[in-house]
Structure 1
């Protein structure tokens, strides 16, 4: 991985796999875009051409020259915790209700924009929002949605701080409708935010390619056990909407 940050490696590795699949199958370009973490065919095409030097359509031609980033071998040592755990859940439609801010994506370390968003909410606001929370995951959530490019560090997204609910909120709150979906839920235990960020790297580099599931492009939710993140055995849950790969 010499010369690349972890986030950049993941992005380029997925573009490598996209190139292989486009050159060797009849997958639609929009389907490849979603499968490899992009919200539109245009953003996928731009990233693909920047890496490979040709468009996704040109990659289908016989003899097209594609670039490749070799797979990374992970050696995971877990201290004081448990192995990466996940479960699959089906949920009916609901809404995320809370506050929203447009921020930039950061793969490592604390994101000051997310911290600032949390500091803008009063205890009265939190109590009001928690009263609306009536489905899992219960309580306050950090929700990421509407990514410009999901695997490009520094790209923009909508960040929500709120709750999952089927109740009707007051007009002062932002509302993000969430369609009925299948969710992959990953439990993390360890120092925050590093353990969560390391789990995200595993999800993209290891779990998604071999799981039989793909991202749907829907919002991603993070549940944390408490506002105090100093516990070295801090527990979180990552919720991502997925669909069976066709």
Structure 2
């Protein structure tokens, strides 16, 4: 009995001593296998990320770069804003909102470099560079059916003064433009837009004309850059 027990114990100890060797070898191989699998799956992960980014940019939200001073003091050159493309799915645009829209009949801006155009499109969607297309950002002043005019720097909507004020008085105007304009009637499904920097804004008073609802890309709702200037872009409230 003692001999059998001794033999059994010895064989058990021998197996116990041998078992860690294959486990140790397998453990050494796992990091290499994981790394190989990661690089094998990386192209697929990149494609999925690009598709998601494209869908997000196309249908939900997009960053835009501010290229000009037409919206000062509200937005400065080089600022980045986020625009929601879902804002007008369930309601109409409102007076006082800051919107981004695309110029009609924009011709091609690049020549056949599909890779370069794709990279640039994604970069513009992140607000890192100016977009390929000509996009504009302004404030909605006139709604469909409104009669819009300017007299002595004051905007009149259907004959009534629009209660706008200068930044120094808590408003959004850089300064008043004393050049008279109108009156004009805003067409159906169109919007009359102006920049907050009235004397230095090309808007619906000039070359841009009235903006078709189909040109609207969405509502700018927050500034994300520079960091110290980040914050919401609320809809201006007017007394009706």
**Same-fold call, TM cutoff 0.5:** no
Shorter-normalised TM-score: what interval? under 0.3
Flag the structure with larger Rg.
2
Task: Give the structure-2-normalised TM-score.
Answer: 0.22
Q: TM-score, normalised by structure 1?
A: 0.22
